Amino acid sequence: MNFEYAERLNKKVYPFVWYKIHPSNKKYGGSVVSAKQYYEYLNMLKNYKYKNKRVEKVIYWEPAKTTIDINKKIKETIKLLK
């Protein structure tokens, strides 16, 4: 996480969250992340601390071309982050 930079610049840390593997990954790009891996990633964001500071918000990324039931995925994400 970039909490050290955020602290120096007096800014917040808002990580991007996406349910897919970035297209730059030649082998797996565009694939949907497994439910287990997605949960572990969100759990890491939820539990990470730096000098008693935590991630307050995430930016949920969704491309224009929908490939899954986005409403279901967003509800799942919110439930995991609560």
Residue 66's pLDDT band, with cuts at 50, 70 and 90, is: low
Q: Give this prediction's pTM.
A: 0.69
| Residue 21: CB atoms within 10 Å | 15
Q: Indicate whether 69 pLDDT > 80.
A: no
Q: Tokens 């007096």 correspond to what residue?
A: 10
Q: Where are the domains of the chain?
A: 3-81
| Rounded Cα–Cα distance for residues 30 and 39 (Å) | 18
**Spatial distance between the Cα atoms of 74 and 59, rounded to a whole number of angstroms:** 11
- Tens of pLDDT, residue by residue over 36-65, are 998 898 899 888 888 888 888 888 877 666
Whether residue 25 is predicted with pLDDT greater than 90 in this model: the reply is yes
